Amino acid sequence: AQSVTQLGSHVSVSEGALVLLRCNYSSSVPPYLFWYVQYPNQGLQLLLKYTTGATLVKGINGFEAEFKKSETSFHLTKPSAHMSDAAEYFCAVSASGNTGKLIFGQGTTLQVKP
């Protein structure tokens, strides 16, 4: 069965520091991988996605993620955190079959300290 594990339900960084949010997945088929961000009282916004091709994917707001097949990982990074990055982040993998279903991790709350 496919699954997504996000390591760390809460991550705290100082403003200007590196942001690293970890995501590991299991999938029996080549996956599509996604990172979504959820700001307080808002819906999910797509940050970036990996489908095929280049394994380093750049997204909005300066975020990027690298697909590492050998490690079954898709970690999200940003070189320098801003206060506005404080939010909950979800990693997701496409389910096999043509159902369109996304399988989500449990989420990581990012806190940015001044």
Chain contacts with another protein (rule: CB under 8 A): 4, 9, 32, 34, 36, 41-46, 49, 51, 90, 92, 94, 98-102, 104-107
Its sign, for the CA torsion 49, 50, 53, 55, is positive
Q: Which residue's CB is nearer to another protein, number 81 or number 93?
A: 93
Q: Which residue's CB is nearer to another protein, number 70 or number 99?
A: 99
3-class DSSP assignment, residue 39: coil
Q: Which residue's CB is nearer to another protein, number 44 or number 86?
A: 44
Cα–Cα dist 33/27, whole Å = 11
Least spacing, CB of residue 89 vs another protein, in Å: 11
Structure tokens at 52: 């095929």
Least spacing, CB of residue 106 vs another protein, in Å: 5
Report how many helices (DSSP H) and strands (DSSP E) the chain contains, helices first: 0, 11
